[in-house]
Amino acid sequence: MRSMRTLLVLASLAVLTTAAHAKRVSVWAGEWEYKFDDKKIAKAEVERVLVLAEHGTLLGDAIAGDEVGKLWLHRKSNDWTKWSEWGPAWVKTATASQAQRQTELAELEAMTVPAELVPVKTHLVQQVRFFLEREALALRLLADDKPTLPAQTTVGGIDPAKTCATQLDKVLKASDRGARIEALSYSLGNCLNGARASDYPATAWKKFLAKYRIREQQHTEMNGP
């Protein structure tokens, strides 16, 4: 009969052998690497949900796609006295961009995710919607010759008339569109952004990683010296 010590050694070897044969694959998202056993979760599934990671590009894309923000960056090169010549075409382009990104938001809302990631998806949907609604309001206030705030207007659940009354007043009383876009970006935009709930549900993300034994690791050396 084998001794207890021999049995323990054989059992340990079996565990080590199993671990050695476990297939671990890597998926990359920028400088972040995710290693996991694709028998526990499919590689395609990991790749699909990485868009929900805290360092993902969802919010960055929502901000970068803001047409009013882009126009503000080039505000000094535009002749605001000739708005009637170029403004309507810009509004048309900005409106089309909004429609496209609303479609992308709908796709995010319809995305199925593991139970652990439901709070993460909910949070990101709210954040993307906030930036879209903030841009939609800014677009309206910039495009209208005599802008007013429609009743019951909210931005991500925030009431601009109550939360950012002073900043909104600066927009509505701006002398021209050049001054108005300054007030929209610096005053009203910053006030609304400061009022939004922005805490990422990191605990939910970590629960997802733990359940499927996914190792998340950042490789900062990829950025170079």
Range of the domain at 85: 79-199
pLDDT value at position 20? 47
pLDDT value at position 22? 57
Q: Tell whether 18 is covered by a domain.
A: no
pLDDT value at position 144? 96
Q: Tell whether 194 is covered by a domain.
A: yes
Listed residue (117, 122, 104, 84) closest to 204, CA to CA = 117
- What b/e string do you get for 80-112 counting C-beta neighbours within 10 Å, with b at 16 or more? eeebeeebeebbeebeebbeebeeebeebeeee
With bands split at pLDDT 50, 70 and 90, how would you rate the model's confidence at 134?
Answer: very high
- What is the rounded average pLDDT of the residues 16-20? 46
- State the chain's mean pLDDT as an integer: 90
- What b/e string do you get for 180-208 counting C-beta neighbours within 10 Å, with b at 16 or more? bbebbbebbbebbbebbeeebbeebbebb
Q: Tell whether 20 is covered by a domain.
A: no
pTM over 0.75: yes
Q: Tell whether 136 is covered by a domain.
A: yes
Q: Kindly report, residue by residue over 91-116, the tens digit of the pLDDT.
A: 999 999 999 999 999 999 999 999 99
Q: Tell whether 216 is covered by a domain.
A: no
- What is the rounded average pLDDT of the residues 106-127? 98
Q: How far apart are CA 71 and CA 184, in angstroms?
A: 11
Residue 97 contacts residue 67 (beta carbons within 8 Å): yes
- What is the rounded average pLDDT of the residues 138-155? 95
Contacting residues for 160 by C-beta, under 8 A, at least 6 apart: 137, 149, 153, 154, 167, 168, 188, 192
pLDDT value at position 221? 75
Q: Tell whether 174 is covered by a domain.
A: yes
pLDDT value at position 19? 47
| Position 10 pLDDT exceeds 50 | no
Q: Kindly report, residue by residue over 67-94, the tens digit of the pLDDT.
A: 999 999 999 899 999 999 999 999 999 9
Q: Tell whether 34 is covered by a domain.
A: no
Q: Tell whether 53 is covered by a domain.
A: no
- Domain count of the chain? 1
